[in-house]
Every structure is written in structure tokens, then in C-alpha cells.
Chains A and B, each alone.
Chain A
Amino acid sequence: MNQSDALIWEQHIPGGCHWSGIVRRGTTLRLVDVIGRANAAVLFFNQEEKLERYNMADTLKTQHTFRLTKGHACHSDMGRIFCCITEDTAGWHDTVCGMSDAESIRQKYGTARFEERRNEMFRNGLDGMLIELGKWGLGIRDVVSNINFFSKVTANSSGELAFHPGSSKAGDHVDLSFEMDTLMVLSTAPHPLDSSKTYQPGAVDLAAFVTPPSVIAVCTRIAENARALLNTRNLYACHGGAA
């Protein structure tokens, strides 16, 4: 796409921070791993009805995949698609490990409070998510299994998990082309299985573009995605008449 023409908006999110906002359908949001080491924990909600939210199980089983990458879509629990992954240079995004919390960060990295470290304080994924959710009237009941963009976690035949450090490199990016008006909530705290000995989460840049024509087609090769997109478009065509 011709990005310089289509750029709508951009935002820098330092490592360890959090962000939330509405992303409109027809918009593509690019997430960039600025220096490597980034982890972008993300949840999606239907902006109009926030009980509709990202569903890990439906996303995985409809596409017979454990990892997310280009060609996959992020499904809601109501048979619809929040966004399609239309570009991805990192290649693998974790879907099952959840977020770090205050206790896990303290155990791994120790304590660094605002009083001593100012904005270099150690933040955690769950609290970042709860702070952002609180801005929209949401809370702990709305925290479900999230995506960890830029983090790779594999499972062997016995189901044992392995975190792969450095899977995403500086400049790697993933494009999310939105099909629903979506509340996106983001934390850039470290992945909970990050093997780094020190607290050094990477920054994420966000950039929004007008979605180029037919870019979604890369995701509709999966028949399930095509049906979910039909459900999504029906929502906006007749507002709730179809699933």
C-alpha cells in the first residue's frame, strides 16, 4: 500500500506502558516492534456492545491454528471478525499465555516503584490492561484469554511450552485490518514467559491507515473466515439481523 498517502494517525507506546482506543472498520492498524523485545498484549471488544469480545478458542479452532500470522483473523465470541492479519513480518504471535501480573513481575525483576524510578517503574500486563479497561467502564470480568503480538511460544507433543526469545526483530510489524468498530486495549509489559533477566520491555509504534482495497482477501482463503466476515458485514447491514 502507499502508506504515506493513507496514514491517518500514529502513536508511540513505550515498553511497559498501556493504551486503548477505538479503531474503526475500514482502518488498518500497524503494530511495529521498534527495537525488538516487544510484547503487545491485546484484547478486542465490539465498541457498541462490549459483551462481544475477542475469543481465543473460536480464533484458534476456526482456523486450525495455535499461532497467529498473516492470513489469519481475530474472531469475536459472536461469530464475527474484529480484524484480519493482512501483513506480518514476525511470523508468530502467542495466543494462550495471558499476561504478566504484579506478583510475577516482582518475582522475576524485583520492585521499582514510581517513587524511586519515576516513569521507569516496573509495570505489569494485567494492571495495564485493567487501567485501560477502567476507562471504558470495563474491569476484571472482561479480561479473557488475550493475544501476545510479537511473542512466540511453541508446544511440543507432550504439551510443554517453550518461549522463543528474539523471535521478533527491530522493525518487525503486523497489520490488523479492522472489519468491526473495535475497542482495542493494549499493554506493552513483558510477556509472562519472557526469559530476560532484566526488566526491559520493548516499545511498540502504532500507525493507522485506510485499509487498501482487497487486502482482506488474504484471510478469506479460509472458508470459516469468509463466513465470519459475512456475519460481520450483516451486523452493519441490518444491525443484528444475523449472527
Chain B
Amino acid sequence: MSKKQFVESRLDPETATVDEVCPAGEPWVRLLTEKQVFRIVDLGGNQAVDTLFYNASHAFERYSATDTIRRQKQLYLTTGSKLYSNFGNVMLSIVADTCGRHDTIGGACAAESNTVRYGLEKFPMHSCRDNFLHALAHEPVCEHLDMSKRDLPSNINFFMNVPVSEAGGLEFADGMSAPFKYVEMRAEMDVIVLISNCPQLNNPCNAYNPTPIRLLIWDDPEDMSFD
């Protein structure tokens, strides 16, 4: 796969058809059609953007961490990475990235896992899985696809740095991101994107300060060239 991690986009936010801000700690759901380009901007730096993708026609085809990791023999995502589904199809391709590394294995926080990681009294705290479930309960597109907790597999954490050592250790390191770094990807099929803009208040990697993200979508830019 490509080694050129830091690749800037040529796309101008002025020409985007969608330009929205998702506040810290909230879910965000959108349909991306094939060839649209999707950018996530880390407005505050070191945010963890917990993200899942689904086939827009049937949600049982979905982003697969194991397919994405195994098929590219690579744990981290950056420019050139493909995001594979559990059917082995490329759902999206990362075409620009000014951060350089995104996590595939850290998963989403949940009320229940917070009790294990940080203390039994943490159960009432806001969490990413609660955000995902809120979206599944309220977003018409999720209801239309009959989605439930059953459809919440391992997710991507954009902007998150979870280094693995050769000896098999794992840590949550300080982020490699910074304000206004972004990752941009092209949809290779029609997909639903489901985001929890991580509200994690227990993890020092974002200085206990969850921040908003900016989300942009461009329609099939005719003259885009990524090489």
C-alpha cells in the first residue's frame, strides 16, 4: 500500500455540498453516494471520531476491521488505505490525510466498558455506543435498514493513535492530530456513515476535552487526481 501518508486535498470547502459541524459527544448519520468525497476535520485536535460504514441498501454489509486489517496486512489507516466490508468489497478509499495515522482496533467506549476500564461508578457517563444506539433509534435511514445493536461491529477511530508494539503491547498514546488536520475519503459504493464524535471524558489522549468536528461532502469532483 501507499507509504505517502501526508497528502493534502485539492478540494475547496467553498464547493462542498455538505458543510456541517458535529458537536463533541453527538452522533452524526449521512448517506454518501458512490464517488462522493467525504472529509472529517479535527477542529480541536486529538479528537477520536468513532466511525462505521454500511451498505446503503442492506446494512448486513458493513465496514469490517478484520477484512481491512488482513487484506492490507496493515493495522493503521492513512492515505491509500482501503476500507473493506465484511463481504470483501472496498467501501471507501482514503485519498487525503494530513494526520497520518488512524486507529482500527481501539473500538468505541460504552457505559459498560467504562465500568471495566475506569471504575464501576462510571456507568452513567455519556458514551459512544450510547450515541450509536441513539442514532439507530432516531435516524430514519437506520430504521429503514432495520439496524440494531447487532449491527455494531468494530469501528474506526479517526485521529486516534493506538500503537502496538512488536512484543504485543498496546497503548493509547497522545494523538498525532492537531487542530484542522483532516482525513478525506472517496465512497466506492453508496454507504451510510454513522459517527459518534467521541465524548470520552476518561482518556487523557484528548486532554479530557472532547471537541467538535467539521464534516464536508463533495459531489464527484471531475478533475480530482490523487497522485
The answer to whether A103 and B169 touch (CB under 8 A), given A155-B75, A243-B115, is no
Q: Which partner residue on chain B sits nearest A91 by CB separation?
A: B168
The answer to whether A192 and B70 touch (CB under 8 A), given A66-B164, A143-B86, A159-B75, is yes
Which of B66, B148, B169 is packed against the most chain A CB atoms within 10 Å?
B66
User: Which residue of B151, B163, B170 is within 8 Å of A61 (Cβ)?
Assistant: B170
Q: Which partner residue on chain B sits nearest A161 by CB separation?
A: B73
Residues of B within 8 A of A154 (CB): 166, 168
Contact residues of A: prevailing secondary structure: loop
Contact A145 B66 (CB under 8 A): yes
Residues of B within 8 A of A6 (CB): none
Per-residue CB proximity of A40-70 to B under 8 Å, as 1/0? Answer: 0000000000010001111011101111000
Per-residue CB proximity of B138-171 to A under 8 Å, as 1/0? Answer: 0000000000111111110000001111101111
Contact residues of B: prevailing secondary structure: loop
The answer to whether A156 and B70 touch (CB under 8 A), given A58-B107, A98-B64, is no
Q: Which partner residue on chain A sits nearest B75 by CB separation?
A: A159
Shortest C-beta distance, A163 to chain B (Å), equals: 9
Per-residue CB proximity of B98-127 to A under 8 Å, as 1/0? Answer: 000100111110111111110110010000
User: Which residue of B65, B151, B164 is within 8 Å of A155 (Cβ)?
Assistant: B164
Complex CA distance for A103 and B87, rounded to whole angstroms = 10
Residues of A within 8 A of B113 (CB): 55, 58, 62, 75, 77, 79
Contacting B at CB under 8 A, from A187-243, are 192-193, 224, 227-228, 230-231, 242-243
Q: Does A116 contact B (CB under 8 A)?
A: no
Complex CA distance for A228 and B66, rounded to whole angstroms = 25
Contact A57 B107 (CB under 8 A): yes
Residues of A within 8 A of B110 (CB): 58, 77-79
Complex CA distance for A51 and B170, rounded to whole angstroms = 27
Residues of A within 8 A of B171 (CB): 64
Per-residue CB proximity of A107-150 to B under 8 Å, as 1/0? Answer: 00000000000000000000000000000000111111110000
Per-residue CB proximity of A165-205 to B under 8 Å, as 1/0? Answer: 00000000000000000000000000011000000000000
Contact B88 A61 (CB under 8 A): no
Shortest C-beta distance, B205 to chain A (Å), equals: 12
Contact B166 A227 (CB under 8 A): no
Contact B65 A193 (CB under 8 A): no
Residues of A within 8 A of B155 (CB): 57
Residues of B within 8 A of A5 (CB): none
Residues of B within 8 A of A156 (CB): 166
Residues of B within 8 A of A193 (CB): 70, 73
Residues of B within 8 A of A2 (CB): none
Residues of B within 8 A of A58 (CB): 107, 110, 113, 116
Q: Does B208 contact A (CB under 8 A)?
A: no
A positions within 8 Å CB-CB of B: 51, 55-58, 60-62, 64-67, 75, 77-80, 92, 96-99, 101, 103, 139-146, 154-161, 192-193, 224, 227-228, 230-231, 242-243
Question: With contacts A57-B105, A79-B116, A99-B66 known, what are 5 further pairs, Cβ within 8 A?
Answer: A66-B105, A96-B66, A98-B65, A155-B75, A157-B163
A-B CB contact pairs (8 Å), 17 listed: A55-B113, A58-B113, A58-B116, A60-B106, A60-B107, A60-B170, A77-B113, A98-B70, A103-B88, A145-B65, A145-B66, A155-B75, A161-B73, A161-B75, A193-B73, A231-B115, A243-B115
